[in-house]
Structure 1
């Protein structure tokens, strides 16, 4: 996480050739928010840019590697946070962009978010609802099929390079769940009060030895996410997102033959199991 914060610091610093407000568009150009539902909410990504002047080549390579989408391996692009948790960057950064655009922050060319039918919560949609609903939708025909987890382990906690899952993958391994909850919590904060992303992440995760002052706010992600999205709210948004996926061409086939009652059942199960496991 320290490496990511250093990169964002440079990208947001005019003194180093960066530009405040440039990170969300850059992140999406590199692969964040690559799923149909997320793109319906945040829009199509810009073209990949050349290497930013603010970053040396090794940091630019690292950022591209971290943000490159890997649909078959959603745990890729995860980082180790100072609180000991592993956090996927995709849902984290998508939630932060949604929050900035909901709040209409002045630091950046924020386009307004579209009005979608059915209406949905953009923060929940881009962080957790789409991936969670899709995972449970795909698992519904397999009585023993897991739709959440697993966890994983790092090769070296002092110099983490490789993260390996401890079991068969799902679309929502623990790292994605952590990133989604953090994206929701930080996105909600940015919607209320825009701030530089590096500064926000540094304070939230306690990077740069900040965790020595006590437990970092990230260690309370379950409590804070639960306050924003209890099971009833999450279930409601899961139904809305699944109905959105029904009308999007890339995902229409997923819901072919799935009626409203079955969608409601999938949403109820997904919200309940996610809440029991993570919140």
Structure 2
């Protein structure tokens, strides 16, 4: 993603530049650039003081936040003009989270890895971490402020709905190069995907800051954000990257929070909110505990067990030609492919999206298919890309399309393997996610493309790899598509 350089030039009261527009870009690069402006204008302002000013700008002074963090004007020194009018207006719009009656989610930004993040919970986590570092205390309030409150209230407000409908949804940007409007895919919950992403990021960054060595001081806020959101893989296997970066948010958050009794912590957060807001009577609802228990099981399934999947709208898919044919779930097979062309793995959202569009164009224009053939495609950037998806018949394994999902790794794997991280996305996460959701049979069979069609796909190296995977079988009594 091209870095958007924000600049401000004031002459005779007139403002020029992206920040001056009511229709400013809503991406993380723009937000970081605005933070850099604030830092340059206030060189003596500490990271903690800056984060508190950002909270004050967005008006986040609810009882739970005040309980753990205190008032946002509680800083050791006073700055009378931290933000000019333009920066104030930008941050107010960038941080304040809400959903319009048209289903547009505000207070969210598009990151370089193709995911969408709510700014507010991310900044709250950072503030908790900075406060703990400054005071030499544990990071009290980290989970309640970043995730638990939103999760608990969402579970409770939608307890009459199936657990899968108590979280999310994701959505689509109007333009991933120049994002301005983020439209949710269905009626929102109080814990949209962007809020959960922001909460996980806040927990990760906040804990990183809280656990800095005693002799180490926190860096500038802009540097912290750049290190996490703007890391460039440059051909690295994501699995060997030791630093905390956004494509690894799910596994890092699971490592940080998975040891907690999250169900109990969500319950305790709800009781604390009710006490602070003098609404303890809500606690008499006998369904609260079950709602939280079922909700947390869905949270673990959706955000930790399942891999992160980039939806079609994010990579710029062309429309399906005709009407898609529904699959009869659960399916008994999973078929592994390599794309061969593109023959090189992709290591960024931009590269992988370009590969997806190229494959779809080839499948539709040269082969005359209705859409990209694969059900899902695996990048080396930490993400799986939606093709035909969970519910629609693909065109990936001749004669077998109605019986299994076709999953392709981007690249040519005749003599080399995909990254270990990419392999694990399928082996450990996609398959489990599909089984747990009732989309793939628990005793499903895994095959390489070459076992069913006269082809070298998925390449000698990748085929040798999957032969050691659970569920792989050398032969099978499959049927032909009718």
For the pair 1:219 / 2:247, whether they are aligned, the reply is yes
CA change 1:166–1:129 in 2 (3 A) is same
From 240, 260, 271, the counterpart of 2:296: 271
Alignment of 1:230-245 (within 5 A): 230=258, 232-245=260-273
Cα 1:33/1:273, change in 2 over 3 Å? farther
Report the 3-state secondary structure (helix = DSSP H, G, I; strand = E; otherwise coil) of the residue aligned with 2:73: coil
Q: Distance in 2 between matches of 1:267 and 1:179?
A: 20
Using the alignment, how far apart are the partners of 1:75 and 1:172 within structure 2? 12
**Change in CA separation of 1:154 and 1:267 when aligned onto 2, cut-off 3 Å:** same
- Aligned counterpart for 2:226 among listed residues 202, 214, 218: 202
Change in 2 beyond 3 A, CA 1:144/1:223: closer
Which residue of the partner structure matches residue 146 of structure 1?
165
Paired residues of 1:32 and 1:94 also in contact (CA < 8 A): no
Shift of the alpha carbon at 1:143?
4.8
Cα distance in 1, alignment partners of residues 291 and 62 from structure 2:
20
**Which residue of 2 is the match for residue 89 of structure 1?**
119
1:97-127 residue CA offsets vs partner (Å, 9 max, x unmatched): 0111122269xxxxx79xxxxxx95110110
Distance change >3 Å, CA 36–CA 273, structure 1 → 2: farther
Look up the match of 1:157.
Answer: 176
Q: Taking structure 2 as the reference length, what is the TM-score of the superposition?
A: 0.49
More deviation, 36-45/91-100: 36-45
Q: Secondary structure at the match of 1:104?
A: helix
Q: CA deviation at 1:250?
A: 5.3
1:270 Cα deviation after fit: 2.3
Matching residue of 1:109: none
Q: 1:50, CA displacement in angstroms? A: 6.8
The 8 Å contact of residues 91 and 176 in structure 1, kept in 2 or not, is answered as yes
Residue correspondence of structure 1 range 73-84 to structure 2 within 5 A: 75-84=105-114
Equivalent of 1:20, from 39, 46, 63? 46
Contact 1:121–1:237 (Cα < 8 Å) also in 2:
no
Distance in 2, Cα, partners of 1:230 & 1:121: 17
Quote how far apart the aligned CAs of 1:144 are.
7.5
Question: Number of residues paired by the alignment?
Answer: 257
Aligned to 1:29: 56
Alignment root-mean-square deviation, CA: 2.9
Give the structure with the larger strand fraction. Answer: 2
Q: Structure 2 CA distance, aligned partners of 1:217 and 1:270? A: 27
Aligned in 2, Cα 1:60/1:74: closer, same or farther, shift over 3 Å? same
CA distance in 2, matches of 1:93, 1:102: 14
1:184–1:38 CA distance, 2 compared to 1 (3 A)? same
The alpha carbon displacement at 1:38 in A equals 2.6
Using the alignment, how far apart are the partners of 1:84 and 1:71 within structure 2? 20
Larger CA deviation: 77-86 vs 215-224:
215-224
Aligned-partner Cα distance in 2 for 1:128–1:144:
17
Tell me how far 1:44 sits from its aligned partner: 3.4
Match of 1:2 in 2: 29
| Greater fraction of residues in helix | 1
Q: 1:44 to 1:10 in 2, by over 3 A?
A: same
Q: 8 Å contact 2:56–2:72 — kept in the other structure?
A: yes
Of residues 205, 215, 227 in structure 2, which corresponds to 1:186? 205
Higher RCO, Cα 8 Å, sep 6+: 1
In 2, distance between residues paired with 1:270 and 1:195? 36
Contact 1:127 1:183 in 2 (8 A): yes
Instruction: Select the structure of larger CA radius of gyration.
Output: 2
- Return the TM-score normalized by structure 1: 0.81
Q: Deviations over 1:243-272 (max 9, x none)?
A: 21231225435x24225xx44323322221
2:58–2:91 contact (8 Å) kept in structure 1: no
Q: Distance in 2 between matches of 1:65 and 1:196?
A: 22
Query: 1:74 touches 1:173 (CA, 8 Å); kept in 2?
Result: no
Displacement after TM superposition at 1:66 (Å): 1.1
Aligned-partner Cα distance in 1 for 2:104–2:146: 13
Asked if 1 retains the 8 angstrom alpha-carbon contact of 2:113 and 2:247, the reply is: yes
SS of the residue corresponding to residue 261 of structure 2 reads helix
SS at match of 2:106: coil
